[in-house]
């Protein structure tokens, strides 16, 4: 099978239970309570753990922090509905990791190519800040995801929390590889971890991350993963 094929993209929105918590996941009481509050405040929202987007046969996995309240928590697709998705999916398209038009909703027809997008924490946290315990509790889902990606060659971590969660999920200490924007870490003979500041509106508004900086990171990713 050609790993760049996007045929599995649609089905990947409903992966096996080993990869995504159930809709009423109760592992993290604080996140469960926040989800219930949002079901009252925003009954039209997804308000459940957000499944990854893209094929398990992809060579690239992008790992964010957690769903945004009015982004992925609203739409049910990672990085969809807020500014972070505007920048991420435009960049993925520019570098050949996505086709179609990003319309900020799961039915927009956007397809990922040789790429999968997920989060370290699958449920929206208050103030976009999961606790250490919540990151730990959600880690088995990320571990299972990594274990079920046979072609995985590059992981792109968006932000320090994602970077740490990925390292621990891979069996490394957080201190083994220091986070830094644009940093490239060879974590084993077949896998490279690349870091970027998160593509949030806050980071772009403050100049911490520019579009060019983000593109430079993806140029490094593409250098690791030539078109096939």
pLDDT in tens, 167-220: 999 999 988 999 999 999 999 999 999 999 999 999 999 999 999 999 999 999
Q: What is the pLDDT of residues 157-181, one digit of tens each?
A: 999 999 999 999 999 998 899 999 9
The pLDDT of residue 18 is: 57
Cα 85 to Cα 117, 200, 227: the distances in Å are 11, 9, 23
Residues 6 or more apart whose CB falls under 8 angstroms from that of 116 comprise 12, 52, 53, 54, 55, 56, 58, 60, 61, 62, 149
Distance of alpha carbon 134 from alpha carbon 123, whole angstroms: 10
* Residue 81: per-residue pLDDT: 96
pLDDT along the chain (228 residues), means of 10: 37 50 94 97 97 97 97 98 96 98 95 98 96 97 96 98 97 94 96 98 96 98 92
CATH superfamily of 27-224: Uracil-DNA glycosylase-like domain (3.40.470.10)
pTM of the model: 0.91
Count CA atoms within 13 Å of residue 184 on its CB side: 13
């Amino acid at each position: 099978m050609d790993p760049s094929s996007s045929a599995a993209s649609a089905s990947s929105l409903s992966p096996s239970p080993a990869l995504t918590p159930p809709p009423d996941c109760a592992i993290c009481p604080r996140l469960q309570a926040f989800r219930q509050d949002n079901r009252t405040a925003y009954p039209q929202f997804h308000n459940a753990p957000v499944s990854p987007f893209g094929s398990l046969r992809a060579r690239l996995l992008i790992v964010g922090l957690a769903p945004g309240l009015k982004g992925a928590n609203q739409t049910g697709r990672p990085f969809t509905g807020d500014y972070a998705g505007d920048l991420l999916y435009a960049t993925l398209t520019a570098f050949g990791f996505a086709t179609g038009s990003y319309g900020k909703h799961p039915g927009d027809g956007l397809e990922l190519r040789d790429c999968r997008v997920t989060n370290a924490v699958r449920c929206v946290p208050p103030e976009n800040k999961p606790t250490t315990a919540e990151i730990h509790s959600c880690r088995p889902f990320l571990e299972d995801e990594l274990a079920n990606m046979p072609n995985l060659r590059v992981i792109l971590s968006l932000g320090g929390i994602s970077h740490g969660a990925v390292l621990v999920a891979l069996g490394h200490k957080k201190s083994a590889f220091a986070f830094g924007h644009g940093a490239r870490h060879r974590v084993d003979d077949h896998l490279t971890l690349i870091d970027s500041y998160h593509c949030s509106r806050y980071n772009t508004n403050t100049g911490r991350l520019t579009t060019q900086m983000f593109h430079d990171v993806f140029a490094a990713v593409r250098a690791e993963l030539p078109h096939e």
